[in-house]
């Protein structure tokens, strides 16, 4: 008896399953193709899945990749409709628990209410490249069906699984430098979302000089894919503009002179992991590692854009300015405005108080600041340290942030306090200098509203 | 402003948290200590956990390790009682769903019924060494409270998380040989559960010769800890005894002569992962890799013990033997019985048919075979190929398996069919040779019951 | 007693040695600076060198790097003049050996005749980065003093040492692909000498597709520096032009279709290792590895330029052509000549026989072919297999090779024979097709001269 | 045309070369076998070696391994006799140089006097495993022909090459710990030459605790073979006995308490590299690395045996002791002498002054100390710091060192001075405490002879 040919699963399964399932050919229309995938998914959840699970899982993933957008959407609909929980068992469990509520019974209720698609995804993950494919699937879902309420439970389940799998404890921090594989570096170029990297020479200036660092989180199952990365400049003082920091001809700072680590760009890389936050952990880990390596570093600070400012200045309902200032604000539409120095100076006197209002007082419906970057760093426990006039003269900087840049300061002894002030009371912790920018009347109202923040 | 000292979290937190939480000293009695851990766990689930989560998580794990058995048990009880779901929200969700059952609502029901301890464990996992500590915690739970019904939901939640995290897709297959780190190899010596490895020389004979292989699954978060490993011998023919396979003075088989891969020992290493099955995947992956490396391999087979046989022969209610055979069976208690060749031959005539009955017909209450090893391989889709009289003359082999060893054959084209026959119909797929061992009357009954197995 | 500060050699030595040696400041003129290095070199060869050799060696190398061209040349002169052998001992040894010639005495003679600079270089090599610095020193010597007869013994000694240290047995073959570190890849772009790599996208097309390979030799002491690399295309048939091979829009060849490995570019990277040949070993090793990985490969062949052809056609004294062909040859000066198809066809009829003459009959003073690439592959035992008209339409290809490309075939069973025919008898082993290109009268002379080559 | 089968050199060459060289079978007698190897060596030095050098080199090495001792000795004789320099060319070069001595001509003389075996060894080194085989060959030469004057030039050439190849700049320092491969660790057990390692548990106690370190030099071409390794204990104070340092039940020293690094065992591993010194570099490199990692370390010191002391006490001609002391010395022959405390104390009063004489005054013919360990450390620039009575109570320690152990202190600011005092003037730099042990009359003579040493 000869078992050669054994387990040739990944390459041969297509043929076998086609035969087993009675498939005739691959030129199916998308509906038929999606139905085929659904059938395989049922097989994967059945006994057959136990015997040759990796083969079936691989086949599902291969077929998924061959579906077009219509096919994928059909599949998502099937996941949402047909792979929910077993309603009968769930119904019994819900009644039982309501009769006698207890933790133990809630456990039954919890596991009977788990949608079957969760086990399906866990089994798909067993295939080589499975994790990658599931992250991709989530990205497709976000792109193809951003607002479909019927697909929300599907998204919720995917997010739940991916959040659990991409737990901080499984992430690996890796330094990214000029010795990193090109396959990683090209992704840094591609994913940099804050200050564009034009080409490989530009990349090299960001990661190769001794006073530049780049770190990313990686997951062992996605080895060449950074999840999030941060670019760091080591400087003497807290910087007030991005231009000099990225200038081609700047002189590098000797390591023994560096006192400040500037986080000037944080970029998420995986669309499919949207909503799962890594940046918080990344900043803190990098700060910790840098401090261990370079004990002379004293200050950990960002140099950040204010990406919602310009839009708010133009449209914000709560922007109350005199008529003449309104005209000045209109001049922001001309991207050459910084070149007229006297006019720029006039603008500054109008915008700085407004910017302070934007960060300190203007709120979204949920009581949080309008600025997404501010929300991120304030939630992390950082303090709004300084607003830098004309810190970013790039077209993007002028268009989105009205040229302003912001330093958020990460200071250990205050982080917990800051975070709780922000998370529990919506308080924006800011330096006296920033508060002073508020117009007098605004400032006094601010002072009344948040007396505790005068640290 | 100077933020030196920033993020010195892992080393300094003990001091800070003591101060923050009003702890006076570490020499608490266990109840107080456990209560302190519980308090930290609540902090970890609160806003503070978001700001300095890794520090609190590390502190919880450190304190856990300092608890003694009483303290740990108290903590488990707290996990079971105090970290269940939010009952109010769950109650509302259960009612809502029962009013209008649907998948979307089940999603609410599912997530509101999740015990808070699951999020707690996920946050603990963020700390360095977190995964290791959680696996350890589960092992402690199994050891300290094996049958506590009130702790069952806690165990269920731990198993659920660990099953998800130790998904096959995250495991890495590594060959273990004489170039492996000693820290891994000592665990092979320690965990080998089937045929004891006496010392490093013995280990070397198992992994270093060219016709011997050892492979294990590893998880990236437990880098030096094998989860499960399998020892393989490359041979010409299917072996019928373990002695010659492990003999110190045996001549190795040249690779180009090898036609058979013998899986002669599979051992799980992590008590805390009990119930999460890796062996199935391991055997199939190793077989696949070996076949790619050595295309001349034709047969993939085990050489396995029958660890429940001797016990069944002595106590089994369904062992019906004539009185004189019963006396013979009693001689099994004397470990020197194989040395009396004529007596041994008489025993063989009694035991072989009984062994066939043991594997093919004797069942547990759930209809599955009594033998745990048989259940494992049959469930995997293997076939019971051969029963080898006196295949294991070791004391352990005589005491547990009455000296018998079994070959289970992994043959590709039959695996799915075999698995389904076993899983769905309880059928034990066996070779004609094994079936022939059954006594005539038994055989005929067997043939009637399972006509399809005559492959 | 406290030995803190112990061994802080690399950073502190400058100060100590300055003090010890009475150096006043670093702004010496070059003569003084070179003299300082010479003094340190003497210290390195003395007892002090034994005690703190690595520190002195590092200091020599650091100072070397701070010398300008004048200073380096002065140092080379000092190496040549002052670091020869001990003449007195050598004189005695020479006389002794001439009195009674024997192997044992030759050993004395050999070691007394070794220039002291060899030991000096060996001690310099002990410093971190020493090997790199010595390779750099040789490159400087070649560049700054290409034809100085008085420095030839210095060069000879450097070559001797480097040849010994860069022995094939110490080289490591590494595949270079898109997962290689950028620091290596940028060197591939930089050093590619045959078909220029324009940028990173171009590089990616050379190393990333499944039908493209790149391999280099590395030395453990120069870890990110390839010494030589070869670019390989996997194709179905032997290619006759470089354009289609490098076209941006070509379709890759599936691995299972590939029958031919084409070595289309070999580049040396280290100027300082000029004259030390690695290419021969590289081609053979890569061929061996490829054949193991892809057993279906049948043919190993180059696609090579003929870099001396155009020059020879224009100036070669032995190019005897009729007057009208001479005029045609002049048209080669116009880089657009291939666009006039009829004219190009006329040129072909003139050039192909001349090219055959160039490869098969035209010789340098030492009896070897004029073409450097031909000499390399023929010496390696390859056979001149095919001459491809207009195989390279690039400006460089037209200017240097008159647009021709050549396939050299590496065929195992003939390699030794071919090599010996070439090395011992100057015979160019060529295919019948190439020989047929010779004009009849030339061919017959060729046949008489080398009757054995008609294989 | 098909070149499949190309380059199958390593496996197929045996057949081809046998056929080419007319070899009939492998069962040759040793003379014939050695002659065959010589023939292949000539081929390797010829043109054939250029074409298929690695194959021939591999064949030479394989055949070498199949030769027995007689055959190897015959081969060594052939290397010595037949692979010397070309006498004719050398004769001309010697005369030419004597006529007009100059550096340039010495270069000719140097290279013509190089024995052909050097190029032979360089070519052998190209084969896979070549470096390993050549080191092995040197070990065989030392073992099979320790005092053959006719083979001395062969040994000299091997040493020359190996010294050049095992240059410090090519060695890699690796920490050896419980994560190291077993294949390396078993060599540590095997090669430990000073304080025997009994088994794997004993090994673990030496390398795994946090206050224990082990480092070795490795060469990239011998990847799993340590060349030399040192075992280090981190302690608070300078230790005076080996027993407590190696005790199974000792309590480890916390890293932050450690002030002293004790080099208590240095072992060379490669017999074939005898005479090529690595230990000096190893101690200094390890000290440097430790100081960087643990800035609190203040003292770097050895705990060393005095392996020639007992022998010298018994036989030394310059040991002048009164008759009654002589009788005491005889009691050293009884290995239980330390157990009689009063007698031991009497012995101490006799031996300590003699030990001081042994280290400070007794000399070999070349003026260096008798003790090999003393010579090693003193030459490295260490200072004889303390003599420890009954520092080693092991049988070996009593038998060789009369139970004494010695601390040699490595102190930066003195290393060069100490080395030069020792190397140039034979002065043994010692602490006042050691000098005080000398008997008064001896001491005064010592003081006169070496007045400078009273540092």
DSSP H stretches of helix in A218-304: 242-246, 279-293
Chain A contacts in chain B segment 102-161 (CB below 8 A): 103-104, 106-107, 109-111, 113-115, 122, 125-128, 130-131, 149-150, 152-153, 156-157, 160-161
From the CA of D377, how many Å to the nearest CA of chain C?
Answer: 11
- Is D90 in contact with C106 (Cβ distance < 8 A)? yes
- Is A172 in contact with B298 (Cβ distance < 8 A)? no
D100: in domain? no
Given a cut of 60, is residue A387 above it in pLDDT? yes
Touching check for A181 and chain C: CB below 8 Å?
Answer: yes
Domain with residue C160: its CATH number is 1.20.140.90
- What is the phi/psi pair of residue A447, to 5°? -60, -40
Touching check for D197 and chain B: CB below 8 Å?
Answer: no
DSSP string, A360-416: HT-B-TTSSBS-HHHHHHHHTT-EEEEEETTS--SHHHHHHHTT-EEEEEE-HHHHH
Q: Which residues of A touch B280 (CB under 8 A)?
A: 50
Please list the pLDDT of chain D residue by residue as tens digits (455 residues). Answer: 333 333 333 333 334 444 444 444 444 588 999 999 999 999 999 866 666 778 899 999 999 999 999 999 999 999 999 999 988 889 999 999 999 887 666 888 998 999 999 999 999 999 999 999 999 999 999 999 998 999 999 999 999 999 999 999 999 999 999 999 999 999 999 999 889 999 999 999 999 999 999 999 999 999 899 999 999 999 999 999 999 999 999 999 999 999 999 999 999 999 999 999 888 899 999 999 999 999 999 999 999 999 999 999 988 777 777 777 788 888 888 888 898 888 889 899 999 999 999 999 999 998 999 999 999 999 999 999 999 999 999 999 999 999 999 999 999 788 888 988 998 888 999 999 999 998 776 665 555 444 443 33
Q: Which residues of A touch B284 (CB under 8 A)?
A: 7, 54
Q: How far is CA C441 from CA C357, C367, C386, C455, in A?
A: 11, 21, 21, 20
The packing angle between helices C152-165 and C116-124, to 10°, is 50
Domain boundary among A285, A302, A319: A302
Q: Which residues of B touch A148 (CB under 8 A)?
A: none
What does the pLDDT look like over A284-304, one tens digit per residue?
999 999 999 999 999 999 999
Residue of B nearest to A10 (CA): B288
Q: Which of A429-438, C26-35, C377-386, D73-82 has the lowest mean pLDDT?
A: C26-35
Q: Are D110 and C107 in contact (CB under 8 A)?
A: no
Share of chain A above pLDDT 90, in %: 69
Touching check for A263 and chain B: CB below 8 Å?
Answer: no
C277 pLDDT tier (thresholds 50, 70, 90): confident
| D212 shares its domain with D243 | yes
Tally of domains in chain A: 3
C420 pLDDT tier (thresholds 50, 70, 90): confident
What average pLDDT score do residues C283-302 get? 94
B325: in domain? yes
Touching check for A183 and chain C: CB below 8 Å?
Answer: yes
Phi-psi region of A426 (alpha: psi -120 to 50; beta: other; left: phi over 0): left
Touching check for A12 and chain B: CB below 8 Å?
Answer: no
B403: in domain? yes
Q: How far is CA A80 from CA A56, A143, C147, C170, in A?
A: 21, 16, 80, 60
What does the pLDDT look like over C50-81, one tens digit per residue?
667 788 999 999 999 999 999 999 999 999 99
Enter the tokens of residue B206.
Answer: 């198992």
Q: Identify which has the larger pLDDT, D107 or B202.
A: B202
| Chains in contact with D via at least 3 Cβ–Cβ pairs below 8 Å | B, C
Predicted pLDDT of residue A429 = 96
Domain boundary among A302, A319, A350: A302
Mark whether D and A touch (3+ CB pairs within 8 Å).
no
Of C106, C172, C287, the CB nearest to D7: C287
d(CA C375, CA C215): 22
- Is D179 in contact with B182 (Cβ distance < 8 A)? yes
Touching check for B182 and chain D: CB below 8 Å?
Answer: yes
Domain with residue D212: its CATH number is 3.40.630.180
d(CA C345, CA C335): 15
Range picked from A109-123, A312-326, B93-107, C427-441 for highest mean pLDDT: A109-123
Structural domain including D290 reads: 169-302
A363: in domain? yes
Share of chain B above pLDDT 90, in %: 69
| B154 shares its domain with B196 | no
d(CA B80, CA B155): 9
| B131 shares its domain with B187 | no
What average pLDDT score do residues A414-443 get? 87
Enter the tokens of residue B150.
Answer: 């009130």
d(CA B217, CA B135): 16
| Chains in contact with B via at least 3 Cβ–Cβ pairs below 8 Å | A, D
Domain boundary among A302, A323, A356: A302
C446 pLDDT tier (thresholds 50, 70, 90): low
- Is A178 in contact with C178 (Cβ distance < 8 A)? no
| C204 shares its domain with C278 | yes
Predicted pLDDT of residue A105 = 65
B103: in domain? no
Residue of C nearest to D166 (CA): C165
The residue among C120, A46, D103, A90 whose CA lies nearest residue B423 is A46
Of B181, B200, B224, the CB nearest to D180: B181
| D331 shares its domain with D397 | yes
| C43 shares its domain with C59 | yes
**Hey, which residues of C are catalytic here?**
304, 377
Predicted pLDDT of residue C16 = 43
Predicted pLDDT of residue C5 = 31
C-interface mutation test, from D2, D5, D6, D79, most C Cβ less than 10 A away: D6
Q: Which residues of C touch D297 (CB under 8 A)?
A: 4
- Is B181 in contact with D181 (Cβ distance < 8 A)? yes
Touching check for C9 and chain D: CB below 8 Å?
Answer: yes
- Is C94 in contact with D109 (Cβ distance < 8 A)? yes
Q: Which residues of D touch B223 (CB under 8 A)?
A: none
Listed in sequence order, the residues at least 6 apart from D228 whose beta carbon sits closer than 8 Å to its beta carbon are D216, D217, D266, D267, D268, D269, D278, D279, D282
- Is B182 in contact with D183 (Cβ distance < 8 A)? no
Predicted pLDDT of residue C7 = 33
From the CA of D182, how many Å to the nearest CA of chain B?
Answer: 5
d(CA C7, CA C54): 10
| D158 shares its domain with D181 | no
Predicted pLDDT of residue A444 = 57
What does the pLDDT look like over A331-368, one tens digit per residue?
888 888 898 888 889 899 999 999 999 999 999 998 99
Which residues make beta-bridge pairs with A405? A388
Of A103, A110, A412, the CB nearest to B110: A110
Given a cut of 90, is residue C21 above it in pLDDT? no
- Is D423 in contact with C300 (Cβ distance < 8 A)? no
Given a cut of 60, is residue C449 above it in pLDDT? no
Q: Which residues of C touch D54 (CB under 8 A)?
A: 168, 281, 284
B295: in domain? yes
What does the pLDDT look like over C115-163, one tens digit per residue?
999 999 999 999 999 999 999 999 999 999 998 999 999 999 999 999 9
D99: in domain? no
C187 pLDDT tier (thresholds 50, 70, 90): very high
* From B304, B325, B401, B453, the catalytic residue: B304
Chain A contacts in chain C segment 54-73 (CB below 8 A): none
| Chains in contact with C via at least 3 Cβ–Cβ pairs below 8 Å | A, D
What does the pLDDT look like over B215-224, one tens digit per residue?
999 999 998 9
What average pLDDT score do residues B288-311 get? 94
- Is C182 in contact with A182 (Cβ distance < 8 A)? yes
From the CA of D318, how many Å to the nearest CA of chain C?
Answer: 30
SS (H, E, C) chain D: CCCCCCCCHHHHHHHHHHHHHCCCCCCCCHHHHHHHHHHHHHHHHCHHHHHHHHHHHHHHHHHHHHCCHHHHHHHHHHHHHHCCCCHHHHHHHHHHHHHCCCHHHHHHHHHHCCCHHHHHHHHHCCCCCHHHHHHHHHHHHHHHCCCCHHHHHHHHHHHHHHHHHCCHHHCEEEECCCCCEHHHHHHHHHHCCCCCCCCHHHHHHHHCCCCEEEEEEEECCEEEEEEEEEEEEEECCCCCCHHHHHCCCCCCCCHHHCCEEEEEEEEECCHHHCCCCCHHHHHHHHHHHHHHHCCCCCEEEECECCCCHHHHHHHCCCCCCCHHHHHHHHHHHCCCHHHCHHHHHHHHHHHHHHHHHHHHCCECCCCCECCHHHHHHHHCCCEEEEEECCCCCCHHHHHHHCCCEEEEEECHHHHHHHHHHHHHHCCCCECHHHHHHCCHHHHHHHHHHCHHHCC
Of A182, A199, A200, the CB nearest to C178: A182
Chain D contacts in chain C segment 420-449 (CB below 8 A): 420, 423-424
Given a cut of 70, is residue A443 above it in pLDDT? no
Which residues make beta-bridge pairs with A216? A174, A229
Sign of CA dihedral D2, D7, D12, D16: positive
- Is C183 in contact with A179 (Cβ distance < 8 A)? yes
Q: Which residues of B touch D181 (CB under 8 A)?
A: 178-182
| C438 shares its domain with C322 | yes
D95: in domain? no
Q: Which of C240-244, C250-254, C318-322 has the lowest mean pLDDT?
A: C318-322
Listed in sequence order, the residues at least 6 apart from D198 whose beta carbon sits closer than 8 Å to its beta carbon are none
Predicted pLDDT of residue D293 = 92
| B216 shares its domain with B283 | yes
The residue among A135, A132, A178 whose CA lies nearest residue A158 is A135
Predicted pLDDT of residue B384 = 97
Q: Which residues of D touch C7 (CB under 8 A)?
A: 284, 287-288, 291, 412
Predicted pLDDT of residue D11 = 32
d(CA C103, CA D154): 10
d(CA D389, CA D392): 8
Touching check for A293 and chain C: CB below 8 Å?
Answer: no
Sole residue written with tokens 């942030």: A401
| D200 shares its domain with D336 | no
d(CA B151, CA B155): 6
The residue among D417, D413, D391, D412 whose CA lies nearest residue D403 is D391
Q: Are B355 and B361 in contact (CB under 8 A)?
A: no
Which residues make beta-bridge pairs with C384? C408, C430
D-interface mutation test, from B176, B181, B182, most D Cβ less than 10 A away: B182
B229 pLDDT tier (thresholds 50, 70, 90): very high
Q: Which of A10-24, A124-138, C50-64 has the lowest mean pLDDT?
A: A10-24
What average pLDDT score do residues B78-91 get? 91
What does the pLDDT look like over A52-111, one tens digit per residue?
778 899 999 999 999 999 999 999 999 999 999 988 899 999 999 999 887 666 888 999
What does the pLDDT look like over A234-269, one tens digit per residue?
999 999 999 999 999 999 999 999 999 999 999 999
Domain with residue C440: its CATH number is 3.40.630.150
| C413 shares its domain with C282 | no
From the CA of C51, how many Å to the nearest CA of chain D?
Answer: 5
What average pLDDT score do residues C234-256 get? 95
In Å, how far from its chain's centre is CA C453? 29
Given a cut of 80, is residue B19 above it in pLDDT? no
From the CA of C20, how many Å to the nearest CA of chain D?
Answer: 11
- Is B178 in contact with D178 (Cβ distance < 8 A)? no
| B274 shares its domain with B376 | no
User: Maximum Cα–Cα distance for chain A, whole Å?
Assistant: 94
What average pLDDT score do residues C11-28 get? 43
- Is D110 in contact with C115 (Cβ distance < 8 A)? yes
Return the SS3 of B5.
coil
Q: Which residues of A touch B410 (CB under 8 A)?
A: 3, 6
Which residues make beta-bridge pairs with A181? C181
């Amino acid at each position: 008896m000869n078992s050669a040919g054994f387990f040739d699963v990944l390459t041969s399964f297509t043929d076998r399953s086609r035969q087993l399932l009675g498939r005739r050919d691959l030129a199916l229309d998308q509906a038929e193709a999606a139905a085929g995938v659904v059938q395989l998914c049922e097989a994967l959840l059945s006994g057959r899945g136990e015997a040759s699970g990796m083969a079936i899982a691989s086949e599902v993933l291969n077929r998924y990749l061959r579906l077009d957008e219509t096919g994928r959407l059909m599949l998502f609909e099937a996941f949402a409709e047909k792979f929910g929980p077993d309603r009968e068992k769930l119904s019994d469990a819900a009644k039982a628990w309501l009769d006698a509520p207890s933790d133990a019974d809630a456990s039954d209720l919890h596991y009977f209410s788990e949608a079957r698609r969760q086990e399906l995804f866990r089994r798909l993950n067993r295939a080589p490249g499975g994790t990658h494919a599931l992250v991709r699937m989530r990205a497709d879902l976000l792109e193809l069906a951003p607002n479909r309420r019927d697909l929300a439970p599907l998204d919720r389940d995917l997010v739940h699984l991916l959040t659990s799998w991409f737990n901080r404890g499984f992430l690996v921090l890796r330094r990214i430098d000029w010795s990193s594989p090109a396959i990683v570096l090209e992704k840094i170029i591609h994913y940099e979302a804050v200050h564009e990297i034009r080409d490989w020479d530009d990349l090299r200036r960001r990661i190769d000089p001794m006073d530049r660092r780049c770190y990313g989180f990686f997951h062992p199952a996605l080895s060449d894919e950074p999840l999030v990365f941060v670019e760091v400049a080591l400087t003497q003082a807290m910087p007030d503009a991005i231009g000099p920091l990225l200038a081609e001809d700047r002189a590098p700072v000797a390591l023994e002179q560096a006192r400040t680590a500037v986080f000037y760009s944080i970029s998420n890389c995986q669309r499919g992991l949207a909503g799962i936050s890594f940046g918080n952990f990344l900043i803190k880990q990098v700060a910790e590692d840098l401090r261990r390596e370079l004990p002379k570093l004293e200050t950990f600070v960002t140099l950040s854009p204010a990406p919602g400012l310009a839009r708010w200045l133009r449209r914000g309902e709560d922007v109350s300015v005199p008529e003449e200032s309104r005209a000045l604000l209109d001049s922001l539409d001309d991207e050459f405005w910084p070149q007229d120095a006297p006019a720029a100076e006039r603008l500054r006197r109008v915008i700085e108080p407004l910017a302070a209002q934007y960060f300190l007082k203007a709120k979204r419906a949920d009581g949080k600041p309008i600025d997404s970057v501010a929300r991120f760093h304030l939630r992390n426990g950082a303090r709004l340290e300084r607003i830098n006039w004309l810190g970013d003269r790039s077209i993007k900087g002028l268009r989105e942030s009205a040229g302003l840049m912001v330093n958020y300061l990460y200071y250990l002894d205050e982080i917990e306090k800051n975070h709780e002030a922000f998370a529990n009371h919506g308080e924006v912790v800011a330096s006296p200098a920033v508060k002073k920018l508020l117009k007098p009347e605004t400032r006094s109202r601010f002072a009344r509203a948040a007396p505790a923040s005068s640290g």
